[in-house]
Amino acid sequence: MSGRIFRFRMCRRAIALVLALLAGTGSAQVYDNLPPAPDYLGEIRRAPDGGLKVVPEAVAALRSSEPATMIVGPGERVATITEAARLARDGEVIEIRAGDYRGQPAVWTQDNLLIRGAEGRPVMLADGRSAEGKAIWVVRGGRVRIENIEFRGARVPGRNGAGIRFEKGSLTIRACAFFDNEMGLLTGNSPDLDLAVIDSEFADAPRQPGDLHHLLYVGGIARFALRGSRFHNGYLGHLVKSRARENFIFYNMLVDGAGGKASYELEFPNGGVAYVVGNAIGQSADSDNPAIVSYGAEGRRWPDNALYMAHNTLINDRYSGKFLDLRSDRIGAEVEVWLLNNLLVGKGDLERPTLGRFDGNRLVELRDLIESGGIPLRLTSQSPLRGAVRPPGMARDVELLPDAEFSFPAGTRQMHPGSSLAPGAFQ
């Protein structure tokens, strides 16, 4: 048939013998009458635009292990996000061209999927639509990575519309942005989920009186890692709320800002094991909640509970408050808590835990700091607090001495603390 290439590997002599036997002659002389074997041109592969093409044999073997790529965007074979989610296969790379994608909700159910913005950052605008009444995107697959995508304006009747609703598998978010969503990112409560959020930004909670819109809400999942990400301009809800069994909160900027009115900046309502290292965490003057970090306010969910906070810069712009609200009455007084080398800025209390370590925490005024990114964060080079603290050591094989720091607008940069170790997230 025209346009088709068939590949035959059967030996000519074998064909001749078969033909001879069928003819009842037992002779192999038929061999010399066979037509010449067709030239082998290659294997058929699917191109990025969805069409078919012949790949030469020399490179076919090399490409057989490479993931297929689907290009998505106006003018491409796959033009919409909704269609891309329907057509995607396990192991595929989905590249989305830069631009605005309005009202194109998607449910991703594939395994080993990479979805990334290409040639700029594409913006997913909810525009009044949602996937399953939950989110702009619902992720319910296996291993999924999402990179360089922006999500805006999620709204649903239940008032918890998310940029992304994560319900199954393992999800890594990198260099993404979530603005003006009822929930920036919301997870399910399955104890085998794994979420990592890296170098991303969450901001601008909707100003809807009476509603609690968290910028990032992690349910009762197995593991949550947050690194190099920025959160600001919340409203009534929390900047980050996590019910995960294990939490790794490293080198983030959770500072609500002058226009923000978030409740907690960081909350672990059901405890769990939490490592909070090298973060800047600050509440605004207009916050209704005096506490910046909260642990155990809703009682325990997991059998193992501990809080390790080291080298954080905790900023209180409010007239009074608590740098940490440790609810021992609900989570239990036997929970181990380490509070080491944290820099406390403004007015507030940091109570010594009943069980654990408490050392190197220092209180300063805003005037003692130098601004970075418009926020007072760094001690001056002449500060008497430089060299005033000792290395915090390790907790459960996790190093508590930071080797990186947050870098604006989002991300981290490596650092190597010297002998003049100072409290706080920035050396």
What number of CA atoms fall less than 13 Å from residue 405's CA on the CB side?
15
CATH at residue 299: 2.160.20.10
The single-letter DSSP state of residue 7 is -
Q: Within a domain: residue 167? A: yes
Q: DSSP code of 158?
A: T
- pLDDT for the residue 22: 39
**Are 54 and 120 in the same domain?**
no
Task: Give residues with Cβ within 8 angstroms of 141, minimum separation 6.
Answer: 108, 109, 110, 111, 113, 168, 169
Looking at the structure, tell me whether residues 225 and 346 fall in a common domain: yes
Residue 330 lies in a domain: yes
Enclosing domain of residue 47: 12-59
Amino acid present at 169: G
Does 134 lie in the same domain as 53?
no
Quote the number of domains for the chain: 2
* Assigned domain for 187 exists: yes
pLDDT at 140: 97
Non-local (6+) Cβ contacts of 193 within 8 A are 166, 167, 168, 169, 170, 171, 187, 219, 221, 222
Based on the fold, state whether residues 101 and 25 are members of the same structural domain. Answer: no
- Cite the beta strand spans of 189-255 per DSSP E: 194-198, 201-203, 216-218, 223-227, 230-232, 240-242, 246-250, 253-255
In whole angstroms, give the CA distance from residue 13 to residue 18.
Answer: 9
Which is nearest to 343 in space by CA: 280, 272, 249, 275?
A: 280
Q: How many angstroms separate the Cα of 351 from the Cα of each of 267, 281, 322, 358, 404?
A: 17, 17, 9, 9, 27
Is 410 a domain residue? no
**Sites in the chain below the pLDDT cut of 50:** 1-32, 58-64
Number of neighbours of residue 359 by Cβ within 10 angstroms? 13
Q: Is the peptide bond before 409 cis (omega within 30 degrees of 0)?
A: yes
Q: Are residues 237 and 351 in the same domain?
A: yes
What DSSP designation does 233 have?
A: -
**31 and 150 co-located in one domain:** no
Number of residues that this document lists for the chain: 427
**Whose CA is closest to 88, among 127, 159, 146?**
146
Q: Are residues 250 and 301 in the same domain?
A: yes
| Beta strand ranges found along 273-391 (DSSP E) | 273-277, 280-283, 291-295, 306-310, 313-316, 322-326, 336-340, 343-346, 356-359, 362-364, 369-372, 375-379
| Same domain (yes/no): 240, 325 | yes
The Cα 90–Cα 99 span in angstroms is 25
Q: What is the pLDDT of residue 419?
A: 80
Residue 67: its pLDDT value, please?
A: 78
Rounded CA separation 31/131 (Å): 63
Q: What is the pLDDT of residue 39?
A: 57
Pair (112, 23) in one structural domain: no
Residues 53 and 143 in one domain: no
Looking only at Cα atoms, what is the longest distance across the chain?
Answer: 106
Residue with tokens 């080993």: 112
**Residue 386 located in a structural domain:** no
Q: Is residue 385 in some structural domain?
A: no
Provide the 3-class DSSP secondary structure of residue 247: strand
* 293/55 Cα distance (integer angstroms): 57
pLDDT at 50: 56
